[in-house]
Amino acid sequence: MPLEIVTIPCLSDNYAFLAHDAASGDTALVDAPEAAPILAELDKRGWTLNHVLLTHHHWDHVDGLGAILEKQPAKVIGAAADAHRLPPLDLQVREGDSFDIGGEPVQVLDVSGHTDGHIAFYMPNSAVVFTADSLMALGCGRLFEGTPPQMWASLSKLAALPDDTLVCSGHEYTQSNAKFALTIDPDNAALRDRAADIDRARAAGQATVPSSLALEKATNPFLRAGDPAIQAHLGMENADLAKVFAEIRARKDRF
Ligand code: ZN
Ligand code: FE
């Protein structure tokens, strides 16, 4: 049985996620932006927290942790590389490690770029990956610490997961990401359709996260550095893909 995934809006535009195994009752939280909405969701469902998975050290992904653990003690898992600047960890993990939630394996992927030490959590049996501020819906995180080649490698690793993977990312930035994406990939019909869907969803107050990896591969310019139309649009035909990615990221920073 795949895990049940619950999306929890936090702060102004963050998302946290619960992954729940009905058979064992095991529940994991991915990121802790804010305690109140997360505790309320656990209460509403009558779920007990067992694990907290932290993707990276930024305050808007960890600040709620202390207050959550006071009410719902749980085992905290995060990157060994970031142990010095994350809240205290019960388990330090790195690329290639795996652990279990409700008997289901969780694989750790290093997706550095936004920060050094940012990790993603991939659950192959449930076809879901928690990417926070690495791969985002129609976007990717700003490169605060990493280099473009590093982020390109991280995004390529995520893009290699199965197409039906659900991408649970950390922020509701999709509508502004869509406006930017259309400046890079204006003739992409799938992107134009998605942008219209996003406008409708936002007008109705709906979340645009999570999304599917297939949709990201078809529409997210940060995964599409190899696309001939995008390369032509940028005047970078046959350029090194990390360089094309770097140009797209630089334009986004100025957008
Ligand atoms: Zn961040
Ligand atoms: Fe963030």
Question: Distance, CA 204 to ligand 2 centroid (Å)?
Answer: 24
Cα 22 to middle of ligand 1, angstroms? 30
* Cα–ligand 2 centroid distance for 199 (angstroms): 22
Residue indicated by tokens 């770097």: 246
Three-state DSSP state, 5:
strand
Ligand lying closest to the C-alpha of residue 32: 2
Which residues have CB less than 5 Å away from ligand 2 (the ion)? Answer: 60, 133, 170
Distance (Å) from CA 62 to ligand 1 centroid: 10
Give the type of residue at 80.
A
Strand partners, 27: 20
CA angle 150, 127, 195 (to 5 degrees): 70
pLDDT tops 90 at residue 162: yes
Mean pLDDT across the stretch 171-198? 98
Q: What is the pLDDT of residues 83-126, one digit of tens each?
A: 999 999 999 999 999 999 989 999 999 999 999 999 999 999 99
Give the tens place of pLDDT for each residue, 48-90.
Answer: 999 999 999 999 999 999 999 999 999 999 999 999 999 999 9
- In this prediction, what percent of the chain has a pLDDT beyond 70? 100
Where would I find the beta strands (DSSP E) of the chain? 4-10, 14-20, 27-30, 51-53, 75-79, 91-93, 98-101, 104-110, 119-123, 128-132, 135-136, 139-140, 166-169, 211-212
Tell me the CA–centroid distance for residue 57 and ligand 1, in Å: 7
| Domains of the chain, residue spans | 4-254
4-254 CATH:
3.60.15.10
Q: How far is the CA of 60 from the centre of ligand 1 (A)?
A: 7
Mean pLDDT across the stretch 184-196? 98
Displacement of CA 88 from its chain's centroid (Å)? 22
- The pLDDT, as a whole number, for residue 1 is 81
| CA 77 / ligand 2 centre spacing (Å) | 18
Q: State both tokens at 31.
A: 């990121």
Tokens 């490690």: give the residue. 97
Instruction: Indicate if the alpha-carbon torsion angle 175, 16, 79, 104 is positive or negative.
Output: negative
Distance CA 221, CA 21 (A): 34
Query: With bands split at pLDDT 50, 70 and 90, how would you rate the model's confidence at 156?
Result: very high
Q: How far is the CA of 55 from the centre of ligand 2 (A)?
A: 10
| Ligand 2 center–CA 30 separation, angstroms | 12
Q: How far does residue 163's CA lie from ligand 2's centre (Å)?
A: 24
How close is the Cα of 132 to the center of ligand 2, in Å?
A: 7
The percent of residues in the chain predicted with pLDDT above 90, rounded, is 98
Distance, CA 208 to ligand 1 centroid (Å)?
Answer: 18
Shortest CA distance to 33 belongs to which of 57, 70, 62, 66?
62
Q: What is the reported pLDDT for 160?
A: 98
Name the closest ligand to CA 13: 2
